[in-house]
Amino acid sequence: MTKTHKIIYWIATVWLALGMTATAFGQLFKLPGQGGSDMIPHLGYPVYLLTILGIWKVLGVVAVIIPKFPLLKEWAYAGFFFIMSGAIFSHIAVGDPVVELLPGLLLLVLTVVSWYFRPANRKIISVDQ
């Protein structure tokens, strides 16, 4: 892994972790704002979903940041991808303006970049048979 790849990985991963943590706490404490207690009913979801999303985001951030456990990291990245793509499509489905898609799109891009540039020791090693 080149030094450039390491820098890209850590920048994307730190921003991803900060973004997911910030939105998770907003959801856990049901704060108004992007993805919070006022947005979730607008999208047609029950408010209790905020608690579920917040907990899984915090656990996902922990999984992505800590060393080892490559399978757990794959699950966390997949979860982030599903949560953010679901958020984007939910906003599209209710006819929200493009500006409402941007936070979810940014976190989705950071998820993909962090996953793509992760170091070899954070990847699942496949054994050809």
**Tens digits of pLDDT across the chain (129 residues):** 799 999 999 999 999 999 999 999 999 999 887 667 889 999 999 999 999 999 999 999 999 999 999 999 999 999 999 999 999 999 999 999 999 999 999 999 999 999 999 998 889 887 765
Neighbours of 126 (CB within 10 A): 6
* pLDDT number for residue 63: 98
* pLDDT number for residue 113: 98
Residue closest to 107 by CA, chosen among 49, 45, 53: 53
* pLDDT number for residue 93: 97
* pLDDT number for residue 37: 82
Residue closest to 92 by CA, chosen among 43, 49, 35, 50: 43
Q: Confirm if 25 and 54 have CB atoms less than 8 A apart.
A: yes
Neighbours of 15 (CB within 10 A): 16
